[in-house]
Structure 1
């Protein structure tokens, strides 16, 4: 209920109303109130699942993050990760002790946290200086401590589950209707109207599914807006752990260009201007200073 999350709270309320009426009308619920309660129930179930370990697994799959397979990579990064996790938990005990590390194959230097127990790094971050890796991980621990990461699960995974349920049930119903139409034709009855109605309903379902996908994207954009506002707090968390200068150095190395696509790109590109973040860290007490001019 933080002020920075206000746009997303509004989205979630609208989402509940829309899902309630859409699902109610599609499943021929006569009462508007019953339709709303039905949609609310379905959405509530999806949110519970989204905030579970299964929800985190879905998001990891969507963003291409998996268990680190190479032993040399694991041997290098795991001790660094455990060191930062221990330090973060001493500062804020609300961070779970069993946070797990995963990796995406992007060659850019970045990372993101999600849910309650997931931190995902890019493969490219392995080539960064060790202190910068620690700074990045401590920043992500800040997101876990502040519960910012739950928002991503609520929207992207919650809506994914609702959309999946909707499509699965409707497609099954349309398939059965289509098969009954074919059976009517083969039995010498007039099944053409039934086939036409099934095709029309199928097209409507596809359009509605696409609209739900677009609506989910809007929700993720709102998450990103809230995330940008929360980045400064996560930076402050990293500063408090002693990684302020390393984080400034890492931020200053960003060029602003990105080749990463998809959900993972949305997650890692949800940050405010790097100079604003560096300035905020300097105001906190970071002593980092870049040398300018030709040497």
Structure 2
């Protein structure tokens, strides 16, 4: 790292710390141990009636209403399959699709087949020599969280996962995700780390893409040769929830990026949330359950708060 870059990053960290200190002094309803985000805050998202997760870290943002509101220590932690959101972002940036377009056909290689059901990973049953469209592989990566589909897309795009990771890192830099480190396309590596606030920067960008948005809002799809696949994000059963992505592992705990459409006045706006490091070092299923339940409470409380603000109660 160059001296100039190191000094710049040190300056950003120092500036952010001062901003957080100022907010902590002036805020009235910040909970014990809270670490609110810097910048213009949305008072609608800050309140004692909101049940913020006690574990890990979280952040929420109502688009168009100021900076994210954050809780918990915003230090980089393993994010597991939330990594696939960045993988999808890079793929769609390099190979844009229209909503009605399947994209180029991609042949399944031997490596993707070999990885099926290996090492307890989350994979999809790809068959050697079979071809799937770009969109279909994005669905297989994002809906049931297929690690082998993620790595296949990375090799198709860049020749190797290592080369693709360089693109992921560049994309993170472009989005200002300076507390994120990507080391693989699937998220199986515990060295891929980020923060809740950084993940909202990515969610804000990816939800602008209509193809990505359609995929992460799908409760299930049927894939020829594989059958029906169900989204790991059970919060899609809640009216208004339109995404986004789950991620869980023993070191990462449970992680969830979510997106919910809410009414504010006469406008429908997007409410984004990130809940990370729930029940870490237990089991992936226990962590994911905690992340889903924590997020469900957040969504319920935030919608109630927004409704109260709208009606003036």
Structure number with higher strand proportion: 2
Structure of greater Rg: 1
Question: TM-score normalized by structure 2?
Answer: 0.24
Structure number with higher helix proportion: 1
Question: TM-score normalized by structure 1?
Answer: 0.25
